[in-house]
Amino acid sequence: QVQLVQSGAQVKKPGASVKVSCKASGYTFTDYYLHWVRQAPGQGLEWMGWIDPKTGVTNYAQKSQGRVTMSRDTSISTVYMDLSSLGSDDTAVFYCARNIAVPIPFSRSYFYYFDSWGQGTLVTVSS
């Protein structure tokens, strides 16, 4: 079965960077885009961007651009999310999620949605 297993919780000081990993198993790693979603305490879900594990091409949400870098290591089926210049408002749970595209019947288009999620990684930014 599809599994996305993320790295453990981290505590960082303001101004530092954090790197979170997401290891995929149960499917062909390069067949599906992987996304990162953040959730501040008590808040909603915020999409950060995606990476194509096959090519390494990325697309970041406007709000994330400049501070986030997504990368992958195909040899170990793992994607990474690097967030720099951390501030206290970056304290959040970060999730990776698999993006699936399913053909729409009688159409040339696709349904797009996130069918599997990692367990989440809490990043706490505190001095």
Partner 1 sequence: EIVLTQSPGTLSLSPGERATLSCRASQSVGSSYLAWYQQKAGQAPRLLMYGTSYRATGIPDRFSGSGSGTDFTLTISRLEPGDFAVYYCQHYGSSSWTFGQGTKVEIK
Binding site for partner 1 (CB under 8 A): 35, 37, 44-47, 50, 59, 61-62, 95, 97, 102, 104, 107, 109-115, 117-120
CA 126 to chain centre: 22
Closest to partner 1 by CB, 13 or 108: 108
CB of 72 to partner 1, least distance (A): 18
Tell me the two tokens of residue 45.
């879900």
How many CB atoms sit inside 10 A of residue 116's CB?
A: 18
Name the residue nearer to partner 1 (CB basis): 72 or 98: 98
**Length of the chain (residues):** 127
Q: How far is the CB of 62 from partner 1 (least distance, A)?
A: 7
φ/ψ (deg, to 5) at 123:
-115, 120
The label of the residue with tokens 């990162």 reads: 36
- Tell me whether residue 107 or residue 127 sits nearer to partner 1 (CB atom): 107
| Matching residue, tokens 């979170």 | 20
Report in angstroms how near the CB of residue 12 gets to partner 1 at its nearest: 22
